[in-house]
Amino acid sequence: MSVLDVAKAPAGRLSAWRSAARVPLVRRPGGRTLLGVIGSLGALALWELAVAVGVLPAQDVPPASEVLSELVRLLGESAFWNAVWRTLAGAAVGLGIAIAVGVPIGMLMGTSRLVHHALRPTVEFLRPVPGVALIPLAVLIWGQSVRAVWALVAFACVWPMLVQALYGAQGVDEVARDTARSFRLTRADRVRWLLIPSALPYIATGIRISASMALIVAVSVELLTGAPGLGSSIVRAQEATRFTEMYALIVASGILGIAINLAFGRAERYFLRWHQSQRPGEEA
Amino acid sequence: MLEIQELTKTYATSGGGTQAIAQLDFSVEESEFVSVVGPSGCGKTTLLKCISGLMRPSGGRAQLHGREIDGPPEELAIVFQNYGQSLFPWLTVRKNVRLPLRRKRRAQEADAAVEEALAAVGLASFGEHYPWQLSGGMQQRVAIARALAYRPSILLLDEPFASVDAQTRTDLEDLVLQVRRAFGVTVLLVTHDIDEAVYMSDRIVILSKQPSTVIETLAVELPNPRDQIATKELAEFAHLRAHVYRAIMRAHEPVPV
Amino acid sequence: MSARAGRLGLEVGVTALIFAAIWLFTTSSDSYLVVALPDMLSRFREVWLFDRVGSDLVPSLVRMTYGYVTAVVVGVVVGVAIGLMPLLRALTHPLISFMRAVPPIALLPPAIIVLGLGNSMRVFIIAFVCVWPVLLNAADGTAELNKTLTDTARVYGLSIGQRLRFVILPAASPRIFAGMRTSLSFAVLLLVTSEWIASTNGVGSFLIQAQQTFRITDMWAAIILLGLLGYSLNQVFSLVERRVLRWHLRSTATSA
């Protein structure tokens, strides 16, 4: 693999360090991060090389170095940060709507068989409907407004939220339930101290899954409808044939996606440190 | 105080019904320690669920202080085998113990009861820990403290020591005997461990295999307080142990038709 | 038996009520965007049963199948290989996570610039976008194999081929399927959107042309078709997944 060839260059110096410690770099603390950095630099070098030798057409794809310096330039532009902010805000509002709608319905379906059976067919049918099919309709209703972003993000994220809340409400442990009942906790207390805490890990997972989806949908809707944000900036850069800027914006949206994944993953672990799934060395 | 009369339980299944309890009659007197033993799958858990009001019997009666049990009674507490699932992992030890007292007592009184119960099980300094930071034995002690703080007049123990190691097990047995005296509480222990039943009880109820009936009720007249070494050395202990063992072995044999 | 009948009655009854409410809403609304449900359905029948199936639906599905199948094959092969080599996995992990995090549609403009507007661009972009979730999950699923499982395989002297077939692939398959499911939704997304731009046929092309010329009933017919398409793809996928992962569902059900 060509990625390996690039990575071989610094391997000589590394091997000295490695034999001294007698622990493979992969298993050393920080070693994985270091290797990740090396691998990423290697990929960038490969990109640079591919453009230089003409594997990638230079008029369509600028070299990595140019895209990166363009990205650095963008970081100093208020217009760029404005676009990032609009995208994040649109995604956040949509996600908020999805949580507000999906969680209560999901919890109801998870606790009441009646509600579950009443709504199941409708949910099962609507859930796999591709949100993209609704974009043309959203454009006719809201035009290039951020409302289109809200609506489609909410439509995409409401299903994972609903399903996770449903699993969470169903996942209340039977022994825990018996314990609560044997101590005669009232219904309200059982919801507060048993149902909600039990369902929380599932809901948190739903929020983490939905957050990255919300960003993807927000950028997509902006790109397709022209609503202001990162997505429409990409289209504008393309239409003005500022290709370097376009690639820099795409890289920025990917980095933003990773940042959101990491942030929500961290937050999930922090808030649920009591939960089994967060504890190593124990069967979850 | 606890009366079980002609209690039956049949589960509705797709193939008609499974009879878990054929008919049970026994009683537990005030401040008595009674154990229920039987072959595995003899419906012990079903019995406990009926007594604790978590499940309705199909027939017969379970009465506490002369009142029919139709929901979890206020003067009853349970310690389950699965402490890992019975303790709420999102609450600290102290909050776990305090939770059932929210509507039962005034705040100050509740706090005092919590501290007293934690001290009684030797966990006074672990109130701010989370259950999952503790060993299995300590978690089960938290569950016992929670039951004690609830101030039940009867304490149900559902194979409470089955998930801990042997050393911890004997420690917990002695702990339960000790707090039972200190708190003057009636105990009904469900177990599959014959030594444990003989060692701890005043009386043993031996059940047949499913569908269960009472084979025998046996008085345990061993000197109090019990001691892990001295009590188990007694000829009487060995005799009782063998007696219960034979009764259960017989219960395993197929009933001649 | 009566409980089951009650459940069925509830499911059918409430769903029928919701359907009736939509019917009533669409027939009484005076917005130009809302078309009466019967008109929508009859237009759907005219267009998609089966007038334009050959000219639009089939080309779309063929593109998607090519792109998706390529992505799954490449993703599984490369992903498992990466998962088996800790060093390679550490080197490539940030890059793969990055590619997975880029919004799929953001890659559409560069794809058009580099590859033009042909059919091959549409197949390529679907494959390119769908490969990352499969690859990432295959690599993670392989790398996080249960140690006992791999030790057992080694103790019994299974060859690498046997290990791949009987240990690694089955153990990683729940993760691989999770990735494939994400990819499937990406495939539908790109299928529709890649046809919005200068395409003469395809479901996406039909949808966007209907919208741009304000043929609202046609637009609704296309939305219904895409809804049904999403639903059926999901059903087929679940069916395959349930068959392949039968052991997984069973073993997790008993341990729960």
DSSP type of residue A193: I
Q: Residue B250 pLDDT > 70, yes or no?
A: yes
What was the pLDDT predicted at A8?
Answer: 43
Count A/B contacts: CB-CB distance under 8 Å.
64
Q: What is the mean pLDDT of residues A135-147?
A: 92
Cis peptide before C50 (omega within 30 of 0): yes
Q: What is the DSSP letter of B42?
A: S
Bridge partners, B35 (sequence order):
B189, B204
pLDDT tens-digit series, residues C94-110 = 999 999 999 999 999 99
pLDDT of residue A115: 92
Q: Which residues are CB-contacts of B239 (< 8 A; sequence separation ≥ 6)?
A: none
**pLDDT at residue B147 above 60?**
yes
* Of A80-94, A170-184, C237-251, the least confident: C237-251
The CA radius of gyration of chain C, in Å to the nearest whole number, is 23
**CA nearest C81 in A: which residue?**
A1
Residue C211 has pLDDT above 60, yes or no: yes
Helix (H, G, I), strand (E, B) or coil at B177: helix
Q: What is the pLDDT of residues B95-137, one digit of tens each?
A: 889 888 877 777 888 899 999 999 988 999 999 998 888 888 8
Contacts of A230 in chain C (CB under 8 A): 106
Residue from A116, A215, A204 nearest A160 by CA: A204
- Say how far apart CA C185 and CA C92 lie, in whole Å: 25
Neighbours of C182 (CB within 10 A): 19
Q: Look at C94 and A121 and tell me if their CB atoms are within 8 Å.
A: no
Q: Mean pLDDT over residues A201-206, rounded?
A: 90
> Higher model confidence: residue A271 or residue C194?
C194
Mean of pLDDT values over B185-192: 92
**What does the alpha-carbon distance between residue A40 and residue C131 come to, in Å, rounded to a whole number?**
19
Q: B21: which strand partners?
A: B9, B212
Q: Tally Cβ neighbours within 10 Å of residue B222.
A: 18
Whether the pLDDT of residue A17 is over 60: the answer is no
Q: Taking 50 as the threshold, does the pLDDT of residue A281 lie above it?
A: no
Residue A157 and residue A95 in contact, taking contact as beta carbons nearer than 8 Å: yes
Note the pLDDT of residue B106.
79
For chains A and C, tell me whether 3 or more CB atom pairs sit within 8 A of each other.
yes
For residues C129 and C151, the answer to whether their CB atoms sit within 8 Å is: no
Q: Could you give the 3-state DSSP secondary structure of residue A168?
A: helix
Amino acid at C3: A
* pLDDT tier for residue C256 given thresholds of 50, 70 and 90: very low
B79 by DSSP, 3-state: which?
A: strand
Smallest CA–CA distance from A6 into chain C, residue = C91
Rounded to two decimals, the ipTM of the complex is 0.88
Residue type, C161: G
Chain A contact present for C229, CB below 8 A: yes
A170/A193 Cα distance (integer angstroms): 15
Taking residues A107-127, report their average pLDDT. 90
- 8 Å CB contact of A275 and B89: yes
Per-residue pLDDT at C254: 43
**Interface contact A176-B72, CB threshold 8 A:** no
Contact yes or no for B78 and A179 at CB 8 A: yes
Grade residue C252 by pLDDT with cuts at 50, 70 and 90.
low
- Tell me the per-residue pLDDT of C169-192, one tens digit each, with 9 for 90 and over: 888 999 999 999 999 999 999 988
Residue C113 has pLDDT above 80, yes or no: yes
Q: Are C109 and A246 a contacting pair at CB < 8 A?
A: yes
Integer Cα distance of A45 and A42 in angstroms: 5
Cβ contacts (< 8 Å) between B130 and chain A: which residues? 274
Identify the bridge partners of residue B212 per DSSP, sorted by sequence position.
B21
Q: What is the mean pLDDT of chain B?
A: 87
User: What is the distance between the alpha carbons of residues C109 and C127, in angstroms, rounded to a whole number?
Assistant: 15
Amino acid C35: pLDDT: 86
**Residue B215 contacts residue B251 (beta carbons within 8 Å):** yes
- Measured between alpha carbons, how far is A227 from A239 in angstroms, rounded to an integer? 15
What pLDDT, on the 0 to 100 scale, is given for residue C29? 84
Chains near C with 3+ CB pairs less than 8 A apart are: A
- Look at residue B256 in the predicted model and tell me its pLDDT: 53
Contact across the interface for C109 and A234, Cβ inside 8 Å: yes
Band the pLDDT of A14: cuts 50, 70, 90. Answer: low
**Residue A9 pLDDT > 50:** no
Whether residues B72 and A276 touch (CB distance < 8 A) is answered with no
Task: Report the pLDDT value the prediction gives residue A2, as an integer from 0 to 100.
Answer: 41
Closest residue of chain A to C225, computed from CA coordinates: A133
**Domain A64-278: CATH superfamily, name plus number:** MetI-like (1.10.3720.10)
Confidence of residue A83 (pLDDT cuts 50, 70, 90): very high
Given pLDDT bands bounded at 50, 70 and 90, which one contains residue A251? very high
Chains with 3 or more CB pairs under 8 A to chain B: A
Asked if C185 has any chain A CB less than 8 Å from its own CB, the reply is: yes
Sign of CA dihedral C108, A232, A254, A135: negative
Overall size of chain C counted in residues: 256
Chain A residue with the nearest C-alpha to that of B91: A274
Chains near A with 3+ CB pairs less than 8 A apart are B, C
Six token digits for residue A73: 């330039």
Higher pLDDT, C241 or A8: C241
Which 8-state DSSP code applies to residue B225?
S
Look at residue B17 in the predicted model and tell me its pLDDT. Answer: 76
Cα–Cα distance, A274 to B53 (Å, whole number): 30
Q: What is the pLDDT of residue C166?
A: 79
- What pLDDT score was predicted for residue C144? 84
Residue B38, pLDDT above cutoff 80: yes
Q: At what angle do helices C119-143 and C108-115 cross, to 10 degrees?
A: 130
What pLDDT was estimated at residue A206?
Answer: 93
Q: Is the pLDDT of residue A70 over 80?
A: yes
Under 8 Å between Cβ of B83 and B163: yes
Query: Residue A277's pLDDT band (boundaries 50, 70, 90)?
Result: low
Tell me which of A194-208, A249-263, B32-46, B197-211 is least confident.
B32-46
Q: Does C209 touch chain A (CB under 8 A)?
A: no
Is residue B46 within 8 Å of B35, Cβ to Cβ? Answer: no
pLDDT score recorded for residue B160: 87
- pLDDT-derived band at C30, boundaries 50, 70, 90: confident
